[in-house]
Structure 1
Amino acid sequence: MFKGLFGLTGVVALACSTFSTVLWAGNGERVYTGTLGKMPIVLELNVNSGEGRYFYQKYRKDLVLSGTKEGETLVLVEGNQRYGEDTALPQIRLQDKPNGWSGEWTSPQGKVLKVELQQANLPPVSADTLPYLAALHENSPYEYLRLQGMTLKQGKTETFNGYSLQWWSEPQTKTTLFEVVSGYTAEERQRINQQLMGRLWLEVVGYYGCLAGGGVNFYHQTIKPLLMTPSVISVNIGTEYSCGGAYPDQNDVPLNLDAKTGKPLVLEDVLWVGEGKPLHYDELDGESDQSPDTFTAFSAYRSNEFAPWLVDQLSKLYPDQMTSDEDCAYSDVEPWRFLSWHFAENGIKLEPSFPHVAASCGYVEWSVLPYNLIKQHPGGVALQLP
């Protein structure tokens, strides 16, 4: 299984290879590699807006850039002014050159360092590359380059529901997840572990995205396996974070997998109460149809069909709990439209969604749809439910 990423030095050394491709991030964004002083950096620049970001390879943390043109010179201001502040910020002044930029970085104190950038080039990924990393290579080369040289550290082993798990962590970000090392066929384990390790690297990317928010930031992750059976897997990925917003926050995003195929499952794959073919919309799955039309149909289904049906079912199953707390208003459809869910031993556990000021309402223990009810309304994937 894939545990590390080849070093960035190797990437840059291959820049002139005949099989490498220039990195474009889409939407007018170009990706460059080079040096600031003696430090290797990766820089992403939107050629339309002049906005961008860069990181030192050693630290990987983003520094935001905002740009203007002064004649033939591109002037990039590094960092953001906090509200009410008027402090000097570092500047990068660049002149265009074939396939890149050349110029100087100047600190507010007058220190000057040379900057050399060239359009980044990247060789194709190998056949055994994790699907998530292959998608980053194609769609987010800046993030792909950020991960180069990072490796995972082997942790504890444990047994859960009769399956052996091997834990791994990324030391810099402290993000963690596990692989399944026994209990399924070798082919099933490979597909399952591709999803689990891909999700670990997604969390690493999320960590650095949080740091870019400015202010006093933190990003703490908790992983808990919830259920593993021959047909389905549920793992909770909980995150406490402060990413530059008004308040710290936390969320739980379960990862639900079809154990036979390794593919992520959305609720409509398991439970469908609408007409026609079940929808499949997953904003975290790059293979899912994420078009605006699909989201519109998904949103309409959740609002007009699923949530009213669910409130009706929960009101029959849990009449006291649905009406006992007026502040939380569980009998309203709104909290049940875009919820999180996972497989449990006795059914599908549903977690209602509330705004930050009422976040405590989202933590309920009783909101389970039993499997005998789920089986009356099968979703788009044939599953052997517990």
Structure 2
Amino acid sequence: MRLGPGDDAKGARYFYERWGVDLGLVPTRQGERLLLREEVWTLAGTKVTGCLRLERAGAGLRGSWTSPDGRRTLPVALAPLDVTRLPLNLPDSPGLRRLRGSDPLTFLKLNRAWVEEAGGARIREPLSGVRYPRVPGGSAALNVALQDRQLEHAANALDCRAGLEGVGEDAYALAVRVTIQRSRLVSLFENAGYYCGGAHPDNFDVGLILDRATGRPVLIPAIWPGLTPARLSALYLARSGADAECREVLTGRDLALTAHLTPQGLALTPTSLPHVVTACAETVTLPLASLRAQADPRGPYFRDLYLR
């Protein structure tokens, strides 16, 4: 259970581990007693699933849980937990430590053994079901960086499902593929589709270019110094086969692009389009040969992409 930071416990929620369910808690006070009403959001509206009545008991809380019809009552005893004292059950990483500090409840859900698949080329987080590639034989730093990407998506998936009763793994679906592996560079492309109870489903794309040794992001100017965001937008529009309607959408706004590498070139995908025109977000690939003149021949990544 996570209580809010103040005495009013605003933002409280708890996780029912047996059923893999998150329950929101709406706090009120009755004298010295803290009342926490369990609520889940359904497509038909909010549903109350129970009520906790708690009082201070030393450093913890003690009281009871009552069903909505008042027919069942269970005793409740809560003790504080310092998650910073718990061991890390995954490889140590900046993302895991950040999560432990910023969202202890989600950390508790995800800080458990994950499952290797495909001979270690893919890892599944068991609670969310989110899968993410690894690079067998890659550096520890690279695979920890990939773990942190998966950790972020797993946390997003759990948060998404917590907002709507009865949704399964399809509520947040992630597809990731490694698009290129070279001696110094690794690139991936993520596509996430989700429905968390809003007006409509949505999706987003993320391209990643990583240093194979350090796992750190490689910015496009580190490979092609002249490829500013404005220049990339111009190149994207020049090669786009968009129809007139989509071209009007793409040129009528600041175009944000995400990038990843493929054997064919630098792939660019729009990320800033409204939901109603996401069909216009087609990926355009700039051939490596067309970018060679703008590459830094003295840079650390040049030989990964170009033969001298």
- For structure 2, the residue ranges without an aligned partner over 5 or more in a row are none
Q: Does 1:311 align with 2:265?
A: no
- Which of 350, 353, 362 aligns to 2:268? It is 350
Aligned mates of 1:332, 1:190 — CA distance in 2: 42
* Residue 96 of structure 2: aligned partner: 133
| Contact kept in structure 2, 1:346 and 1:371, CA below 8 Å | no
Aligned mates of 2:196, 2:187 — CA distance in 1: 27
Instruction: Report SS of the residue matched to 2:113.
Output: coil
| Contact kept in structure 2, 1:103 and 1:114, CA below 8 Å | yes
* Residue 151 of structure 2: aligned partner: 201
| Alignment-mate amino acid for residue 261 of structure 1 | T
Aligned mates of 1:340, 1:156 — CA distance in 2: 28
* Residue 295 of structure 2: aligned partner: 375
* Residue 113 of structure 1: aligned partner: 74
Relative to the length of structure 2, the TM-score reads 0.81
Equivalence map 1:359-374=2 (5 Å) = 359-366=278-285, 370-372=290-292, 374=294
Q: CA deviation at 1:84?
A: 7.8
Which stretch of the first structure deviates more once superposed, 325-334 or 78-87?
78-87
Equivalence map 1:19-38=2 (5 Å) = none
Q: CA deviation at 1:79?
A: 0.9
Instruction: Report SS of the residue matched to 1:105.
Output: strand
| Contact kept in structure 2, 1:75 and 1:92, CA below 8 Å | yes
Q: CA deviation at 1:200?
A: 2.4
Q: CA deviation at 1:144?
A: 1.3
| Contact kept in structure 2, 1:61 and 1:208, CA below 8 Å | no
Q: CA deviation at 1:128?
A: 5.4
Instruction: Report SS of the residue matched to 1:180.
Output: coil
Q: Does 1:62 align with 2:22?
A: yes
* Residue 299 of structure 1: aligned partner: none
Percent of aligned pairs sharing the same letter: 23
| Contact kept in structure 1, 2:106 and 2:155, CA below 8 Å | yes
Q: Does 1:156 align with 2:113?
A: no
Aligned mates of 2:267, 2:255 — CA distance in 1: 12
- Which of 146, 170, 179 aligns to 1:226? It is 179
Aligned mates of 2:198, 2:279 — CA distance in 1: 19
- Which of 95, 115, 124 aligns to 1:169? It is 124
Aligned mates of 1:215, 1:269 — CA distance in 2: 46
Q: Assess, with a 3 A threshold, how the Cα gap between structure 1 residues 330 and 130 changes in structure 2: closer, same or farther.
A: same
* Residue 18 of structure 1: aligned partner: none
Q: CA deviation at 1:376?
A: 6.1
Equivalence map 1:244-283=2 (5 Å) = 244-267=197-220, 270=223
Q: Assess, with a 3 A threshold, how the Cα gap between structure 1 residues 153 and 86 changes in structure 2: closer, same or farther.
A: closer
Matched residue pairs, number? 295
| Contact kept in structure 1, 2:40 and 2:48, CA below 8 Å | no
* Residue 277 of structure 1: aligned partner: none
Q: CA deviation at 1:143?
A: 1.5
| Alignment-mate amino acid for residue 2 of structure 2 | L
Which stretch of the first structure deviates more once superposed, 306-315 or 59-68?
306-315
Relative to the length of structure 1, the TM-score reads 0.66
Aligned mates of 2:22, 2:163 — CA distance in 1: 9
| Contact kept in structure 1, 2:63 and 2:77, CA below 8 Å | yes
Q: CA deviation at 1:114?
A: 1.3
Q: CA deviation at 1:227?
A: 0.8
| Contact kept in structure 1, 2:39 and 2:46, CA below 8 Å | no
Higher relative contact order (CA 8 A, sep 6+): 1
- For structure 1, the residue ranges without an aligned partner over 5 or more in a row are 1-41, 158-164, 275-305
| Contact kept in structure 1, 2:265 and 2:286, CA below 8 Å | no
Q: CA deviation at 1:246?
A: 1.2
